[in-house]
Amino acid sequence: MLRSILLGVGGYLPEKVLSNEDLEHMVDTSDSWIRERTGICRRHIAAPEELTSDLAIRAAQEALKHAHLSGADMDMIILATTTPDDTLPATAVKVQRAIGMTGGFAFDIQAVCSGFMYALATADAYIRSGMIKKALVIGAETISRIVDWTDRNTCVLFGDGAGAVILSAEDKAGTNQDQGVLTTILRSDGRYADLLRTTGGVSRTQTAGTILMEGREVFRHAVQNLAEVAHQVLENTGLSAEDVSFLVPHQANARIIDGTAKKLNFGPERVILTLPEQGNTSAASIPLALFEGVMRGQIHRGDLLLLESMGGGFTWAGALIRY
């Protein structure tokens, strides 16, 4: 059975750090409120001339280096973003150009904070179908560009960054002990489209708009949907929560992460957390957490990882991967 093996991980965070104390000078908020309600201490913000593609290219180069491969080895790039450089072309082709990949194909995916999970599941499907052998999957955001910096309800939550993984097709036995992506689940429910949205967009207002969120409602759905999808990926494989080495969640709010972890009976030592230092980097948060987990020496080869995300749409997703 063809499996998508994670050959390499990469990440990049812009140099500029915006602390909770900095935000105290920008809106009516406090470090203690932000820490208590969200678990966030600081976030990285892209420089004005730094684009989503620049972040994505840095993360991609890091992942290629980690996998001991070059851009020319890739058959496909999928880049998940809500904040593309331009309306067209896709930001993915800029990464393709930068890494010297002249064959294959590259495209973007938009599923807000679940974007990376949608990209991962799509790349895995291409690999399992035999269409491609190697994929570069990226989540990259300059989400700070669509944040209303006068709105304390949202501006304290987000940060910029990019994460990337290299997937490679390998023939495996087809058991739960296989290395690689074991299962993925993608979900969306457009009935909740208005709970997390922007004030505008290309077709409607000819602007990018800024983020509007019904925080409490998003929170309620997030805990429920994430626990549900986590149980479903385990059910798909017949594995149990005890078999999982680490939960690698979308980093939106520490209380959402804790709530889901509790429902799965996971202690904090089995959760990869980047939220305090990075905030919510939308589509970049899961690959950045993977990158951090590997670089910190927490995640080792053979570990079973449960990835899960929730974002605007609503979109939500889960995956089980043996690293």
Active-site residues, by number, are: 113, 250, 280
Residue 263 binds ligand ACO, judged by CB under 6 A: no
Closest to ligand ACO by CB, 167 or 229: 229
Q: How far is the CB of 315 from ligand ACO (least distance, A)?
A: 8
Residue 40 binds ligand ACO, judged by CB under 6 A: no
Closest to ligand ACO by CB, 216 or 301: 216
Closest to ligand ACO by CB, 25 or 216: 216
Residue 25 binds ligand ACO, judged by CB under 6 A: no
Closest to ligand ACO by CB, 146 or 182: 146
Q: How far is CA 288 from CA 1, 83, 127, 167, 315, in A?
A: 29, 17, 22, 16, 19
E strand map for 81-231: 105-109, 134-141, 161-171, 180-188, 196-198, 211-213
Residue 256 binds ligand ACO, judged by CB under 6 A: yes
Residue 224 binds ligand ACO, judged by CB under 6 A: no
Q: Considering only CA atoms, which of 67, 37, 25 is closest in space to residue 323?
A: 67
- Give the whole-angstrom CA distance, residue 97 versus residue 300: 32
Tokens 């910029």 locate to 160
Q: How far is the CB of 214 from ligand ACO (least distance, A)?
A: 8
| Contact assessment for residue 211 and residue 146, using Cβ atoms and an 8 Å cutoff | yes
Q: How far is the CB of 128 from ligand ACO (least distance, A)?
A: 28
Residue 107 binds ligand ACO, judged by CB under 6 A: no
Residue 196 binds ligand ACO, judged by CB under 6 A: yes
Residue 197 binds ligand ACO, judged by CB under 6 A: no
| Contact assessment for residue 222 and residue 281, using Cβ atoms and an 8 Å cutoff | no
- Give the whole-angstrom CA distance, residue 34 versus residue 153: 10
Positions 114 through 173 that interact with ligand ACO (CB under 6 A):
152-153, 156
Which string of x and - marks every residue 303-322 that binds ligand ACO (by CB under 6 A)?
Answer: --------xx----------
Residue 215 buriedness (CB in 10 A; 0-12 / 13-18 / 19+): middle
- Give the whole-angstrom CA distance, residue 207 versus residue 291: 33
Residue 195 binds ligand ACO, judged by CB under 6 A: no
| Contact assessment for residue 133 and residue 169, using Cβ atoms and an 8 Å cutoff | yes
Which value, in Å, is the radius of gyration of the alpha carbons in the chain? 18
Residue 253 binds ligand ACO, judged by CB under 6 A: yes
Residue 33 binds ligand ACO, judged by CB under 6 A: yes
Residue 222 binds ligand ACO, judged by CB under 6 A: yes
- Cβ-count burial 108-121 (b if 16+ within 10 Å, e if not): bbbbbbbbbbbbbb
Closest to ligand ACO by CB, 219 or 246: 219
The torsion angle over the Cα atoms of residues 85, 113, 62 and 89, rounded to 10 degrees, is -30
Residues that bind ligand ACO (CB under 6 A): 29, 33-34, 37-38, 112-113, 152-153, 156, 196, 215-216, 218-219, 222, 252-253, 256, 280, 282, 311-312
